Structure 1
Amino acid sequence: MNRKIALLPVDGRPVTRELPKQIASIGNWEVLIPDKSLLGFLKEPGDMAALEKWIWKVAPEVNGFVLSIDMLGYGGLVPSRVCLDGKEAIIQRIGVLRSLKEKYPDKALMAFSSTMRISNNYVNEEEKEYWSDYGVELWEYSYHVHRFDKTGDVDSNQKVRDLKDRIPSDILEDYLSTRLKNFQVNESLLEMVEGKIIDVLVFPQDDTSEYGLNIGEQEELSDQVAERELFQNVFIYPGADEVANTLVAKMIYQLEQVEFPTFYPIYSGEIGALSTAMYEDRPICESVKGQIYAFGGYTVDQGAEADIVFAVNVPGKRQGDLALQKFLGEVDTPHRNIGEWIKRIAHYLRQDKLVAVADTAYANGVDSRMLPRLLAEIEVSRLAGFGGWNTAGNTLGTVVAQAAMVHLQKKKATLPQEEVKARVLEEMTLRLLDDYVYQSVVRQGVRAGIDEAAVGHEKLLITVKEAFLKESGAFLAKHGLSFPLEDVYLPWNRTFEIGLRWRDES
């Protein structure tokens, strides 16, 4: 084997482009990725023709392909929501998968295609222009159409009628036709699975809730999966940006022909484990199972029989959002016990178990009440994974993949143990710097002190860089960590995400 996988990411942000490569390196695998310049910028689509050429260029040297349909067909995840191309043009672009499988029938081909999200605000940064005027109304229309369909609730039916009067007919028609186009493209992918072109397909639910047109589409896709008996090939669950991590890890296990690990979840609170995370449609404990199952593993009921102890920090009552500063008071409540949870982590580490920590207490950042206690009692170098970024699904899928690579090395030892430990520690330090230092600390301070919309990109970057370098330096020194940081940048010229350039990054 060449120990190489070709990844076409969903866009050019570090978490979607570089993170899968970093995680795979723990398992001694190389992930080939296109040049960032080909992957677009926010609503600007990637160079789809050049990306197809890139796939054919690297195809002879890789053992398999993990391909984003959103990038291949629309030019990226955000462009998939605003693309004006017709269904036929998009399906023609993704037809390259047939040619690729015909040319390389023995090479694994996995793909992922998001169900189009529906944002519940008036921010049109990642949506069509009319979202600034009718975004909330469109979200409510979507919610109540599906709720009435599922429950027959008369209030929802009346709400739909009222919203039809408030939303201009041409805007509603455009929105619904865009959704239909994306759904029909996704339906066509099921035919590719049936035809043995796509070996594994993921339909991640991007930013979702209990009801919505996107949930109705997922239900229809799920019904079709059942009718076609594609249970082992198609996976539907909340997520988006982490899916490449999941599929790259899954492919590596299949190519290495190693049995998938088992996971034993332990939660910091029982009520929080049963609560529904923001932007998802199911309890956190079910999202844990969904992410593990999509990777290829499953959960067990006792720590003694598990390959990996999966320690999940949950909110006391309800997940908060650090980026939006919402529901913060419902996270650190008596409904959870962080101290006891950390004691359990220490217990399993003493038993030489692989333990990975996934922090889902908040969306968009690490729990600042949990992390100092964890780092005070547990050496981060003893962990097999850590994450706490964006949605619960983003965090869970990332940490599953991290821990899986550590387990793989435990089984096959294709790298010296000290090298594995060094790569894992570097990856976890990167997550601490991004997920905690930036998302939980720096971003809050920057947004409180500066009007992001009123300053230019250069001023914004200077402000972010100064704050981050100060906080990250203090954090690394306090915890005896080091990181080969070379530069800080804003991938999409906004404060929502950060980019860190470091010496080992390619």
Structure 2
Amino acid sequence: MTLDRPAAKADSAPSASALKPAAPAPAPLVLLPLDERPVNVQLPADVAAMAGTTLHLPPSVLLPDFRTPGDAAGLGQWLRTTLTELSGETAAPVDALVSLDMLCYGGLIASRTSADDLPSVIGRLEELKTIHERCPGVNVDAVGLVMRASSNSASVEEPDYWHLHGHELHVLGGSIHRYLDESEIPPLSELTRVPAEVVADFERRRLRNHIVNLHSLDLAESGVLRTLAITADDTAEFSAGSAEQTWLRHWMRALPSGRSVHMYPGADEVGATLVARSLTARHGITPRIHIECAHPEALQRVPPYENQPLAASIDRQLGIVGAVRAHDVEGAGKVGAEVPAADAILVVHGPEDGRQDLASAAPLTSDERAAAETGALIQRLLAEGHHVALADVRYPNGADPLLGDWLVEHGLLLELEAYSAWNTAGNTLGSVLSLLVAGVVGRATGTLDECARRVALVRRLLDDFAYQGVIRRRRFEELFRLDSRPLTPERALHAEDVIGADLQTTLQSWGPTGVDLVRTALPWKRAFEVGLELTAQQ
């Protein structure tokens, strides 16, 4: 049913270079994104463009606008109409990549804040059955999200009461998780001081969303979904989200198709990973990716905001994009070590043994040696002629500035095949692997758009390294007054001008890039994310 390529040793899997795929058919791609932010709309479009594919997206009038939900009913109708039209225009299969949170609630924030009842959201989910019945030439790849319970006390993306009770609700989820194997049901007053009516509101919303994820497993079992991913957003080892994943895994073990369901840490990157998966599936290509890390012990650490070791996340992210590991070799990451046959190499700048976070202006304790050793590893692999991408997961919410500066100093930054260093480790891994795999597919099929690849690389470098790793931290107090809430329109325009000027200066300092920065925007009028309009120079 699902096109499952587990991220295991690739002893018998054909590499992209070994395959001679047929000429690519004009198979359309349609995406219903998680929300309207650039990582959920622009990043998937960049992945598609690299392999010469056009991505169909809903009109912006249907999409959410920060805390205003998207038009869930209208989005379902748009999806059905678009797929019906496209499937009638081409004999090639049409791939629909669907965020269940957008389809059911109208977007990511709406999934946490809306009061929509269970019958309503299940009715919207059933739209996929209608599409399956009416459009037999459509493949539906879907992703559902295990709802987070943020540990901070900001209500920006959460219910209005989060500033009063958010942290305690997060702690409550962990406390309940610890009772998972117990028969005792303690009084609520022993678990939390949060008022019962607030607990009920939040937990009923969690229950509704959990039932949607369970229903998606049934859609996968019945053949409505070709691929199903269930990802976890900002989930600690002991938390409500981790407990729900345990229950979901029970049904993944019980249902025959459950072995093909992908579950791992991630959220905003999944639109891009589903695009990459579609590209590998439609061309019958299984990219071989070799993983290198200058500090292999870092791969066994559990990154912040996640609930499994980094190595496990890498394997699961490889699986969802349709790739496999190239052969592991003894001494990987050491100077002079043999590199196995691979279509591309992903260098991982592993997480520190600490909990620093670049989302704030707090002082950063950096490790010059670690950055230099990762840089030297990249330098060697590039000198050997490999296509090398970098996943910088040293810190959450931005790049290690020392590593970025090292690559600039040695003239290697723009020699990377792809790059990512934003938000969580899962976000970073999924993003960079999607871009890397798109390059592999494009080269194998003769459809690689080098200008699109360069634009995608520069976009991530400007966003993750220049903005998140350097400029945001330097300008945080001046522009955002150390506040996570959205700015007023006037302050947002000023911040966009200042950040845009800083990014222009940074871009020019890198030398010829072949890319122009046209516009800088703050999509949600806050510091956390930036939108960049780029064009390739003619």
TM-score, normalised to structure 1, is 0.92
1:423 partnered with 2:452: yes
Partner of 2:533: 501
Partner of 1:270: 296
Are residues 207 and 169 of structure 1, via their aligned partners in 2, closer, same or farther at CA, if it must alter by over 3 Å? same
Taking the TM superposition and a 5 Å limit, the aligned residue runs for 1:71-220 are: 71-149=102-180, 161-164=189-192, 166-220=193-247
Partner of 2:86: 61
Partner of 2:10: none
1:316 partnered with 2:316: no
Distance in 1, matches of 2:380 and 2:360, equals 36
Partner of 2:312: 286
Are residues 389 and 159 of structure 1, via their aligned partners in 2, closer, same or farther at CA, if it must alter by over 3 Å? farther
Deviation of residue 212 (structure 1)?
Answer: 1.0
Distance in 2, matches of 1:370 and 1:99, equals 50
**Would you say the 8 A contact 2:180–2:243 is kept in 1?**
no
Are residues 426 and 385 of structure 1, via their aligned partners in 2, closer, same or farther at CA, if it must alter by over 3 Å? same
Partner of 1:448: 477
Distance in 2, matches of 1:207 and 1:114, equals 11
Taking the TM superposition and a 5 Å limit, the aligned residue runs for 1:391-402 are: 391-402=424-435
Distance in 2, matches of 1:120 and 1:323, equals 14
1:234 partnered with 2:261: yes
3-state SS, counterpart of residue 52 of structure 1: helix
Q: Which amino acid aligns with 1:261?
A: P
Taking the TM superposition and a 5 Å limit, the aligned residue runs for 1:293-442 are: 293-299=319-325, 300-302=327-329, 303-325=339-361, 328-329=364-365, 332=367, 337-415=370-448, 420-442=449-471
Partner of 1:475: 506
Distance in 2, matches of 1:454 and 1:234, equals 36
Decide which moves more: 192-201 or 302-311.
302-311
3-state SS, counterpart of residue 401 of structure 2: coil
**Would you say the 8 A contact 1:3–1:28 is kept in 2?**
no
Partner of 1:492: 524
Give the counterpart of 1:19 among 18, 25, 43: 43
Distance in 1, matches of 2:403 and 2:367, equals 9
Q: Write 1 or 2 for the structure with the bigger share of helix.
A: 1
Distance in 1, matches of 2:455 and 2:534, equals 10
**Would you say the 8 A contact 1:487–1:501 is kept in 2?**
yes
Partner of 2:20: none
Q: Which amino acid aligns with 1:253?
A: T
1:48 partnered with 2:72: yes
**Would you say the 8 A contact 2:46–2:456 is kept in 1?**
yes
Q: Show structure 1 runs of 5+ residues with no match.
A: none
Greater than 4 Å deviation, 4+ residue runs: 157-161, 452-456
Deviation of residue 118 (structure 1)?
Answer: 0.6
Deviation of residue 146 (structure 1)?
Answer: 0.5
**Would you say the 8 A contact 2:455–2:534 is kept in 1?**
no
Distance in 2, matches of 1:253 and 1:264, equals 17
Q: Deviations over 1:278-297 (max 9, x none)?
A: 11011222211121122222
- The higher-RCO structure (CA 8 Å, 6+ apart) is 2
Q: Which amino acid aligns with 1:26?
A: M
Deviation of residue 22 (structure 1)?
Answer: 1.0
Distance in 2, matches of 1:455 and 1:397, equals 27
Deviation of residue 316 (structure 1)?
Answer: 3.4
Distance in 2, matches of 1:469 and 1:325, equals 19
TM-score, normalised to structure 2, is 0.86
3-state SS, counterpart of residue 108 of structure 2: coil
Are residues 441 and 160 of structure 1, via their aligned partners in 2, closer, same or farther at CA, if it must alter by over 3 Å? farther
Are residues 489 and 53 of structure 1, via their aligned partners in 2, closer, same or farther at CA, if it must alter by over 3 Å? same
**Would you say the 8 A contact 2:217–2:258 is kept in 1?**
no
**Would you say the 8 A contact 1:199–1:233 is kept in 2?**
no
RMSD: 2.4
**Would you say the 8 A contact 1:42–1:79 is kept in 2?**
no
Distance in 1, matches of 2:536 and 2:387, equals 25
Q: Show structure 2 runs of 5+ residues with no match.
A: 1-24, 88-93, 330-338
Partner of 2:3: none
